[in-house]
Amino acid sequence: MAFRLRKKKDMPGGLWSKCPSCTKMIYSKDLEQNMSICPECGFHNTVSARKRVEITADPGTFVEHFSDLKPTDRLGFVDNIPYSEKIEKAQEKTGNADALLAGECSIGGHPAVVAVLDFTFMGGSMGEVVGEKITRAVELAGEKNVPVLIFSASGGARMHEGAISLMQMAKTCGALKKFQMNGGFSISVMTNPTTGGVTASFASICDVTVAEPDALIGFAGPRVIQNTIRQELPDGFQRSEFLLDKGQVDLIVTRDNMREKLGQLLGYAAKQVVSS
């Protein structure tokens, strides 16, 4: 299930923002022009799904799909406020229906389908709509015979949707498995943070797993694990570099190099199809 990450204060229209890694005050415009990578320490701040597409897809090639899917409060879930109100607030704040943006585009000249989680919408949590859109994106890639790329930034399953959100783990994995059995090529790009049911499902089972530097990637949070096993955790635990060393991540790519590197990977896959 989703676990809470430290709440970052929203600074609407703020000229300056504090880097969560080096704590330096950064001029917001500089940060934006630098793909939200801290110019002081290189920390990769979270970007919205639309921004992710803008900096990754070849300019002007993105065509959105499945934007008509909207979340429903099936359980009438209430915590501090009703889930239905939470949805409305997130929709107002982000201008999006839910936490996933999907569509077709090209990357480095290679056609692909992309599914991008949006951390700015309820922490990128996976409910019914997110799972359904990922599944449809994978199926669309299968129909079009192109690779699928899934970008993750998520606190995990959306607890407000209970078992329905957990079902999305099996559904998305089923779709990817079918796609892979038919010869489809998939890339998972894990960004800070990729956690909970997202890590435990589609984000971990693609053909190639890419991570941005220093991203938190794990199932349960480090504090929960430390309290459970009652042992000091090693340095860099659950970070991209640690996971690369252990073999869970295949390569680490900086954001400014992402389009080129993904284009290269898609190029290898295309050659593989032609020669087989």
- Asked if 91 and 97 count as a contact pair (C-beta separation under 8 A), the reply is yes
Degrees, nearest 5: CA angle 146-253-213:
130
Residues within the interface to Zn ion (CB under 5 A) = 19, 21-22, 38, 40-41, 43
Strand partners, 116: 101, 151
Which residue, 43 or 151, has its beta carbon nearer to Zn ion?
43
Which residue, 47 or 105, has its beta carbon nearer to Zn ion?
47
Query: Residue 21 CB, nearest distance to Zn ion (Å)?
Result: 5
Write down the H helix ranges in the chain: 28-33, 49-56, 83-94, 128-144, 162-181, 196-199, 222-229, 240-246, 258-275
Task: Report the distance separating Cα 276 and Cα 274, nearest Å.
Answer: 6
Residue 84 in tokens: 């239905």
Query: Residue 260 CB, nearest distance to Zn ion (Å)?
Result: 24
Which residue, 11 or 273, has its beta carbon nearer to Zn ion?
11
Query: Residue 47 CB, nearest distance to Zn ion (Å)?
Result: 15
Task: Report the distance separating Cα 209 and Cα 104, nearest Å.
Answer: 20
Query: Residue 252 CB, nearest distance to Zn ion (Å)?
Result: 18
Query: Residue 254 CB, nearest distance to Zn ion (Å)?
Result: 14
Which residue, 45 or 199, has its beta carbon nearer to Zn ion?
45
Which residue, 21 or 180, has its beta carbon nearer to Zn ion?
21
